[in-house]
Structure 1
Amino acid sequence: MGMLTILSTLMGASFTTAARRLKHGPLRPGWSFKFEATVAFMRATNERVIHLDAATQRAEMEQMSMPSSALKRVRREPVDAGGVPAEWFIPREGASDNVVLYLHGGSYVFGSTRTHGDLIARIALGTGARVLGLNYRLAPEHPFPAPVEDTVAAYRWLLSTGVKPEQVAFCGDSAGGGLAIAALVSLRDAGVPLPAGAVLIAPWVDLECSGESVVAHERFDWGDKRMLLHWAKWYVGNADVRNPLISPWYADLRGLPPLFVHVGSAELQHDDGVRIIEKARTAGVRAHLEVWPEMVHNFQTFGEGFPEAVRGTAKLCEHLRSVLRQSAPGSAVA
């Protein structure tokens, strides 16, 4: 997808949004024109790329990456994390010994440290920690259990370098959030010391998409159940979709470290976030749910030009600092 396609899609989404708002008002009461047009643009992009092969989808999503001031304030260093390609995001003004292991979203099909670079950089700046962004293998070429294996391998590698478990927090969005929980379950079952906790954005924990919000919120969000099931099929392959390492909604969560989950009240994965927190609490896990009014899926990734994203990321960093027991706050979020 070239810049002309991006601009054409954006102009079409903006025109459609303006016409609808002129006739009916905002789709949600608190949405600005910019926010609503961005959601429409992302929805239109997904509607187009869903019909493409996986490699082309990835290439086009990579083209969506935009520069940001946060990226200028971190040092990026590629690294082999136990055989898994990864990238360090380190605040230029110095970092603590703590590590955030970041798992990007993208329905297990696309996404990378490039598509999520702005958010990862803002997390590094907001926590003062080193953030290790993982470029785990993607479906359909590498279906389950490849991403779980890569996450476990990267975490084991971190420990082998001398980083203590209590110095590590997992963080991830969407598929990356579900992957974080799956990796925690896998590590627990293997007897590996667990990290301090996990802070997750709208974790995708039910790949059957059985939550009511997946349908109820379709008109607000930038995806739909059809898209999710299409990508889920690529990831699940010949496995059982109810395997607890595929859909952690079916996992035994006992013994996991503290979980913090952010979801939007208008997003598809709202019910996934609510249900996994309720299940974690029932299992005796310290778990905190934060529902953001009127927000759509992954609104934190919208970038520094959106006050909603800035506030959401600041709160995300606050929870990460809490998990890591940092005595001093990180730098201001970009």
Structure 2
Amino acid sequence: MNKRTSHILSAIFKQLRSRPTYESVGVDNYRLLLEKSAIAFKPDKSVNRVPVRIKTIDAEWLIPLHHHENRIVMYTHGGGYIAGSINSHRDLASRIATACSAKLLIFNYRLAPEHTFPQGLKDVKTVYQWLLDNYGNTHKISLAGDSAGAGLTLALLSGLLMEKSPLPVCSVLISPWIDLECKNKSHIKNQEKDPMLTQSVLKKTARLYTDQDLSNPLISPINNNFSGITPILIQAGEHEILIDDSRILAQKLKASGATVKLEIWEDMFHVWHYFAKYLSEGRQAIQKTGAFIQQYS
């Protein structure tokens, strides 16, 4: 790591550690803070924004100046199942769209605790089915998501496998939160290294999302059988408390015969891609995401 990267990481870590949790400010204020943080991450103006309504769901196409006309990415934003939006993740999603040379669709799914499981997942399924109905015969559709959005992406895939429904050509999971029981060893091993997440807050957040059995494979999709799944790229930071989720998932995917690529990024934290404007490793990881999706679409 060079001095500049070390300096930037230190500044980001300091900012993340000072950020309040939903417990300290309440869910509404927590959401508002995430929305306000988007001011520092304005997307490239060359990426065209086209609003679209999918039944009751607000969505937005992000279309780079140069894109492959028949390549679509469906992006599900993170936020712990309780926060996040098109606005908060527009810069990150725009960067991914550009790296993929694809039209990318980002959308607002229903959030907990007002809308508990399976309401948010139903919205994710609705958007995917809309893409299949309107573009399935003419376009190659990929999935991508970060954190809880990666969890919803994998839950969608779990449901598609169970129902034997059409699958995307590939998927990318960025720092996935896919075991809501929060039981893996990295929660303890990395608790001093992770500047963003704690096991106790995640466990409480999981209970805002649902009071049902957390081992349900549509809630904790790490518990699914992945036989027949299409290729998956997993990117995770070395210092995340969630790193074991990614390692275990990669092992399960390989055991099922799936094509899987696991990238563990040295010194990185949860969804470091979000800081791509300032952090070269974020830009590099997004480029690898783009290369992976282009490989299959």
Contact 2:170 2:231 (8 Å CA) reproduced: yes
Alignment of 1:38 with 2:12, yes or no, is yes
Match of 2:289 in 1: 316
Instruction: Write the mapping of 1:154-303 to structure 2, written as runs, cut at 5 A.
Output: 154-164=127-137, 167-221=140-194, 222-236=196-210, 238-303=211-276
Tell me, which stretches of 5 or more residues in structure 1 are unaligned?
1-25, 325-334
* Distance in 1, Cα, partners of 2:141 & 2:87: 22
TM-score by length of structure 2 reads 0.94
Match of 2:121 in 1: 148
* Distance in 1, Cα, partners of 2:5 & 2:23: 26
Which secondary structure state, in structure 1, belongs to the residue aligned with residue 50 of structure 2? strand
Instruction: Write the mapping of 1:26-175 to structure 2, written as runs, cut at 5 A.
Output: 32-47=6-21, 49-66=22-39, 68=41, 70-164=43-137, 167-175=140-148
* Distance in 1, Cα, partners of 2:4 & 2:199: 25
The structure whose Rg is larger is 1
Cα deviations by residue, 1:83-105 (Å, 9 ceiling, x for unpaired): 32211101134542211000111
How far the C-alpha of 1:223 sits from its partner, in A, is 1.6
Tell me, which stretches of 5 or more residues in structure 2 are unaligned?
none
Cα deviations by residue, 1:279-310 (Å, 9 ceiling, x for unpaired): 11111211111111111110111122211111
How far the C-alpha of 1:256 sits from its partner, in A, is 1.4
* Distance in 1, Cα, partners of 2:152 & 2:138: 18
**Which residue identity lines up with residue 43 of structure 1 in the other structure?**
R
Q: CA RMSD in A?
A: 2.0
How far the C-alpha of 1:182 sits from its partner, in A, is 0.5
How far the C-alpha of 1:68 sits from its partner, in A, is 4.7
**Which residue identity lines up with residue 9 of structure 2 in the other structure?**
F
User: Taking structure 1 as reference, are residues 29 and 68 closer, same or farther at Cα in structure 2, changes over 3 Å only?
Assistant: closer
* Distance in 1, Cα, partners of 2:27 & 2:138: 35
- The answer to which of 33-42 and 264-273 deviates more is 33-42
**Which residue identity lines up with residue 307 of structure 1 in the other structure?**
S
User: Taking structure 1 as reference, are residues 165 and 59 closer, same or farther at Cα in structure 2, changes over 3 Å only?
Assistant: farther
* Distance in 2, Cα, partners of 1:67 & 1:125: 19
How far the C-alpha of 1:265 sits from its partner, in A, is 1.1
Contact 1:217 1:267 (8 Å CA) reproduced: yes
Contact 1:198 1:257 (8 Å CA) reproduced: yes
Which secondary structure state, in structure 2, belongs to the residue aligned with residue 89 of structure 1? strand
- The answer to which of 247-256 and 158-167 deviates more is 158-167
The percentage of aligned residue pairs carrying the same residue is: 32
How far the C-alpha of 1:67 sits from its partner, in A, is 5.0
Which secondary structure state, in structure 2, belongs to the residue aligned with residue 46 of structure 1? coil
Contact 1:99 1:167 (8 Å CA) reproduced: yes
* Distance in 2, Cα, partners of 1:162 & 1:264: 34
* Distance in 2, Cα, partners of 1:278 & 1:82: 38
Cα deviations by residue, 1:188-227 (Å, 9 ceiling, x for unpaired): 2223211101111111111111111112112222221111
User: Taking structure 1 as reference, are residues 250 and 50 closer, same or farther at Cα in structure 2, changes over 3 Å only?
Assistant: same
* Distance in 1, Cα, partners of 2:251 & 2:45: 39
How far the C-alpha of 1:53 sits from its partner, in A, is 2.4
